[in-house]
Chains A and B, each alone.
Chain A
Amino acid sequence: MSDDAKRFSGLSVKRPSPGAPPATPEPSLEPESRVQVASQWQLMWWKFRKHKLALVSLIIVILVYLIGLFAEFLAPQLPGSYSARHTYAPPQPLRFVERTDNGWRPALFVNGYKVEVDPVALRRTFVVDPESKIPVRFFVKGETYKMWNLFETDRHLIGPVKSGEPMFLLGADRLGRDVLSRTIYGTRISMSIGLVGVALSLILGIILGGISGYYGGAIDNLIQRIIEFLRSIPTIPLWMGLAAAIPLTWPPLRVYFMITVILSLIGWTDLARVVRGRFFSLKTEDFVTAARLDGASEIGIILRHMVPSFMSHIIASITLAIPAMILSETALSFLGIGLRPPVVSWGVLLQEAQNIRSVATAPWLFWPGAAVVITVLALNFLGDGLRDAADPYE
């Protein structure tokens, strides 16, 4: 595939590109006919590759999902473990070289803390102490955790050599919990809520949008009115109203599920619109008529002929819907009416940053926010690139 693609780009771009080998001598098809025989996905990939920003975003998105997937292993600490002695401990930068009498030599360590007393406020604050060193190693033994709830292990990607020594690469919060570890665990919840929520929206969107676009008429009219209604009202107050009704006594998993249901109850409209539009334009296409004349069943036509031809658009729309879900969850959890501790999501973590005084002493509490912004940005660029690539008329 990539070989083919290379040949294609070599042919269609006449301009000699430096570094590229001279035109391949092998007899190949004319560029137009190569485009004609390429599959829909090949065409999409060729166009997508030109969009550098989207390509970088794709890599970032994959990385973020991998972080969510391997959270237990990647996080130096458990999300709930706290150290009362390290309240609001500032971030310790990871050092790779140390200075000895004989010059510099490679070593992996973080500096320890010392306590300073603020002479004005008479408050104890931690500062990083450049004198003390805490050696750090990769693949160390640390706290025991159950990987994917399957097997127990105590290996972490990185951690202090002597288990129990402080290592807060992104600082610690109010209870002396590691912000980095919690952000990593939050990745799993926040990213999965995006996926689950979009999956639910997609089911609703495909069913309702499909019915609307395939049958048209009165039922289409009704569904369109519902979509218009949902789009014309402000969503956050509505979400708040629905989310606040979730009883405090519910177990975290049920709350998680309810929140995704609430988000997707309102979030399906965009996907439904895309599906409906595609159905409308496809159902008069010749190949659909041909399939119908051949006696294919309605369901067969939809699944075998129509769905594949708008899959690419759906995937682009899904990619753009995920960040919206993530932002909504973050907002609700931030307010305290979405996910609730001990569940760790980016929104739950940002609740710690709600109090302006605690942020003023510990600005590193914003780190989960940076995770949100980077992820949402990457998903938006990716979705944009996919949408451009899926559009055959650009």
Chain B
Amino acid sequence: MIPTIIAISIVSFVIIQLPPGDYLTSLVSGMAAQGETVDRASLKALEERYGLGQPLYIQYWLWVKGIITKGDFGDSFEWNLPVNKLIWDRLGLTFLLSLSTLIFIWIVSFPIGIYSAIRKYSVGDYIATFIGFIGLAIPNFLMALVLMYIGFKYFGHSVGGLFSPEYIDAPWSLAKVGDLMNHLWIPMVVLGTAGTAGLIRIMRANLLDELYRPYVVTARAKGMAEWRLLLKYPVRVALNPFISTVGWVLPTLVSGATITAIVLSLPTTGPLLFKALLSQDMYLAGSFIMMLSILTVIGTLISDILLAWLDPRIRLK
């Protein structure tokens, strides 16, 4: 956990340092482009703050120290604002989107996976498998584009965004939440299709593994009714590996959310990260990449804890 976060911060710092030319040069040229000049004193202050001109590891240390002690991620020269003023809202919405998609994926793939395993090789199983494969093969952004096209062509309005125009700057209220829910389902479907396909296959395979285990026959030999038995034993056992898929579903969702958000112009991290990268606003971009990764790792950790709570074999060993 801690080593992972340290590794993430190093990778993010490397990304910040990757573009040629240092931060100060871009800042000065950026401000010059807006017709402003920077006086020597503030240049000096910036140089000290970021440790520019000093070895990279010192710069890295100063950056990390700033984040931990003061919550200071550096400045975005594009926005002329501290990075931490820009990222939290968007990170919040990104994770709201990812988590609701995760729940959506679970709710959809769980029953379908069970059905596919129990009625193996039935027509329904084949249909689920086939739709699943198609879901895996369509890139997120393409599906977003197609949905937008359908919305535009047949319903005459664009389907992008997470809020209707009147709510964008409005304070949070019940109506705004309702409006959010109204918009959320499109990115949820876009993001969730691939994951749903994957999880159906996982649930199916897990359950098929469990369905013919002796303990199932034991339960049947006790005289239990079939559905009760299925839910209490094999489905319950197959649930654990299903939950542990968060470990890879969450990174994929956050990953996919980035590109989907760019296509659907959602007010999440994607578009802002993208803009930051294009204009090489590196402290902003690097901070986004770092925080997305760290929050993903934390999400995975939470799922591991949940799993330990559900599975006595992990909990008690």
Contacts and interface: CB of A to CB of B under 8 A. Distances in A.
Contact of B297 (A233, A363, A376): A233
Dominant secondary structure at the B interface: helix
A354 B145 contact: yes
Interface stretch (B14-22, B35-43, B61-69, B233-241): B14-22
Interface stretch (A2-10, A137-145, A178-186, A323-331): A323-331
Residue among A232, A234, A240 with most chain B CB within 10 A: A234
Interface residues of B, number: 52
B300 interface: yes
A363 B274 contact: no
B50 interface: no
A238 B297 contact: no
A268 interface: no
Interface in A369-386: 369, 372-373, 376-377, 380-381
A236 B94 CA distance: 14
Interface string B103-143: 00000000000000000000000000000011011111110
B247 A232 contact: yes
B152 interface: yes
B162 interface: no
Residue among B269, B286, B289, B297 with most chain A CB within 10 A: B289
A194 to B, nearest CB: 14
Contacts of B296: 232-234
B293 A245 contact: no
A335 B262 contact: yes
Dominant secondary structure at the A interface: helix
B185 interface: no
Interface in A209-244: 225, 228-229, 231-238, 240-242, 244
A21 interface: no
B8 A225 contact: no
Given A234-B258, A237-B273, A240-B274, A229 B137 contact: no
B280 interface: yes
Interface in A322-361: 323, 327, 330-331, 334-337, 350, 353-354, 356, 359-360
A366 interface: yes
B3 interface: yes
A247 interface: yes
A373 B293 contact: no
B137 A373 contact: yes
Interface string B273-307: 11001101000011011001100110010000000
A232 B148 contact: no
Nearest to B297: A232
Interface of B: 3-4, 7-8, 11-12, 15, 18-20, 133-134, 136-142, 145-146, 148-149, 152-153, 158, 247-248, 251-252, 254-256, 258-259, 262-263, 269, 273-274, 277-278, 280, 285-286, 288-289, 292-293, 296-297, 300
The 7 closest A-B pairs by CB, nearest first: A245-B18, A244-B277, A234-B255, A241-B15, A234-B254, A236-B255, A233-B293
Interface of A: 225, 228-229, 231-238, 240-242, 244-245, 247, 323, 327, 330-331, 334-337, 350, 353-354, 356, 359-360, 363, 366, 369, 372-373, 376-377, 380-381
